């Protein structure tokens, strides 16, 4: 039963982080963009990478590593770190082109 709760906690953490990013995006693209028009443009442009980064970081943090064998936990942790770097580099690479 504890493994089920670990995965439920994992799903809740990822969901909450995505909801927080959406709230920030709505605040920046809505209310604050009336005062600072550039903020809305930046918020819309960075929304997808922000959602991806929030999901990857929260998933990596909440991953139930104790319920995995040692080798799988190491592999999943390494893949999560690589995914976080790829998400950030993907955004920076897109803004340079």
- The pLDDT, as a whole number, for residue 97 is 46
Identify the CA nearest to 21 among candidates 48, 51, 41: 51
Residue 52 has pLDDT above 90, yes or no: no
Residue 93 has pLDDT above 60, yes or no: no
Structural domain count of the chain: 1
Residue 86 structure tokens? 């790829």
Residue 19 has pLDDT above 90, yes or no: yes
pTM: 0.71
Mean pLDDT on 73-89: 87
What domain range is 75 assigned to?
2-96
- The pLDDT, as a whole number, for residue 64 is 82
Mean pLDDT on 77-92: 82
Q: What is the mean pLDDT of the chain?
A: 83
Looking at residue 64, what DSSP letter applies?
-
């Amino acid at each position: 039963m504890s493994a089920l709760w670990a995965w439920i906690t994992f799903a809740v953490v990822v969901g909450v982080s995505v909801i927080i990013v959406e709230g920030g995006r709505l605040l920046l693209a809505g209310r604050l963009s009336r005062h600072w028009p550039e903020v809305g443009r930046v918020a819309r442009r960075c929304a997808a990478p922000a959602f991806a980064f929030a999901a990857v970081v929260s998933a990596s943090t909440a991953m139930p590593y104790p319920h995995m064998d040692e080798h799988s936990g190491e592999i999943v942790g390494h893949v999560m770190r690589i995914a976080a770097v790829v998400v950030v580099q993907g955004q920076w690479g897109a803004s340079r082109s």
